[in-house]
Every structure is written in C-alpha cells, then in structure tokens.
Amino acid sequence: MVMVQTEDLCKSFGELHVLRDVSVTVQQGEVICIIGPSGAGKSTFLRSLNQLETINSGKIFIEEQLLLHRENNATIARAGKDDFKSLLLQMGMVFQSFNLFPHKTVLENITLAPQQVKNTPKAQANELAGVLLEKVGLAEKAGEYPSRLSGGQQQRVAIARALAMEPKIMLFDEPTSALDPELVGDVLAVMKQLAAEGMTMLVVSHEMGFAREVADKVLFMADGIVAEEGPPEVLFTNPQNPRTRQFLNSVLPQ
C-alpha cells in the first residue's frame, strides 16, 4: 500500500518559495531519508504532511485516501472531518527540539494523548507507556520530569510519546540535530529498531551513516524541489545531479 503520496506540493512564506511541486510516494514499510542543505524545504515538507503547515497548492494522500487538495491557497477538497482526523493520526512526529511537555512526567507525556484523543482508559494507557518506555530503554524514568533527562533520553521519550498513538507512519524532523554527538547513537538505535519492525518512516536527517544503513530511498532536496532520489548505495556513491555531488562532498568525510 502507498502510505503517503504527495502531488505537486507548493508552499511559500511570503515571497519565499519553500516547496515547489514536491511529489513523493512512500510505500508501506519504506524508510525514506530526506537530506539536503538547510532551507531546502525538508522540514516544511514533513510539517505540511501533518498539517503543521498549510500548503498553498497540491494534493496529499494518506493510505491512498485524499487528505487535502488545495490550489492557489484555497481548499478544493479535503477528507471529511472524522476521516481527516483519523488520517492525521496515522502520522506521528518527532521534533528536533523534542518538545516534551515540561510540566508532565515522562509517563504523563506518553499517556496524555491516548487518554485525551482516543479515550483510552488510564490503566491501559499506562500499560502501553510501560511497554514503549521499555522499548526505548527508559523504563526506569517513567516518574521523572523531562528536565531531569539528557537530550538523548528526552528524544527517546518523544519517540515513545508519538508511538503511543499507534501511528503507521513516523515523521522525524532532524531528530538528532540538537543532541551532543555521544547521545546520537541511542536515538538512532531506537529508530533502526523501528525500521526493522516495518514502520514506515520519513526522516529528515544529517546522519548520512543512518541513511546509508537504514534507508530504502534517499531524497536530496534543494531549493524546494526533490533534486535527486534513489537508493542510498546509488545516490551516495554515484550522484547524478551536480547539486547532490556538491552537497555530499561538503558533508561526507573524504
């Protein structure tokens, strides 16, 4: 099944065209890494998918159902209210700056949305949170406040929090960019495990090692377009687009 499909997404902030006709297709279980220089529109693309940004034009399909179709900054069609909500819930998001809720404990961070959005009973939400914390290796931190955790631990809680809504697609927006280098590994390990379990993932990242190892496909974005895409072994070793080559030369150790 095609989990995410976009057709000609355009988004501009005033005069600045951040996305220009971005069309991407993501199959179930695929891990897609999106790389590219800053300002290329990578984050905006992810944020457009789960409606943190509203596109100016284009179509977004989730699980082969139309989520939103806009042209000239006006909505042409969108999924019905309930469908819209449930399609959005298919996507979980992990942010560069974690965005954990500082006034809630780790456990409360994870159980809040299931209880509020899905009316999951507290006991059941707690149980699920326990399983997820175990999975990200932080079972003993359930009662702590986020400020007591390291960045890497916070990001793993954020992943658990997103997973608690049982999404089918995970969006990672530079999940390791704000971390000290020695903390990156733990977060990537969790992401690798997720990928191995068959989660459909869209990852904006500068972790070329992760992209090379885990990604099924790498998209290189520049100036709001997908300039090149392909399997990592091809894109990294034999890039066709001069922009890709230039970018890879600047980020990959020689």
Between 25 and 96, name the residue whose CB sits nearer to another protein: 96
* C-alpha gyration radius of the chain: 18
Q: Is 13 in the site for another protein (CB under 8 A)?
A: no
Should residue 85 be labelled a site residue for another protein when binding is judged by CB under 8 A?
yes
* 234 sits near another protein (criterion: CB under 8 A): no
**Beta-strand runs (E) in the chain:** 2-13, 16-27, 31-35, 57-62, 65-71, 74-78, 91-94, 169-173, 200-204, 217-222, 225-230
Contact pattern for another protein over residues 45 through 74, marking x by CB under 8 A: -----xxx----------------------
The angle at the Cα of 77, spanning 73 to 79, to the nearest 5 degrees, equals 125
Closer by beta carbon to another protein, 87 or else 227: 87
Q: Distance between CA 22 and CA 232 in Å, rounded?
A: 20
Stretch that binds another protein, among 86-94, 195-203, 206-214, 243-251 (CB under 8 A): 86-94
17: its two tokens? 């065209």
When asked if residue 101 is in the footprint of another protein (CB under 8 A), the reply is: yes
Neighbours of 252 (CB within 10 A): 11
Binding residues for another protein restricted to 107-146, rule: CB under 8 A: 112-113, 116-118, 145-146
Restricting to residues 149-168, name those near another protein by CB under 8 A: 158, 161-162, 165
Residues 6 or more apart from 240 whose CB is under 8 A from it? Answer: 228
For another protein, the binding residues (CB under 8 A) are 50-52, 85, 88-89, 91-93, 95, 97, 99-104, 112-113, 116-118, 145-147, 158, 161-162, 165
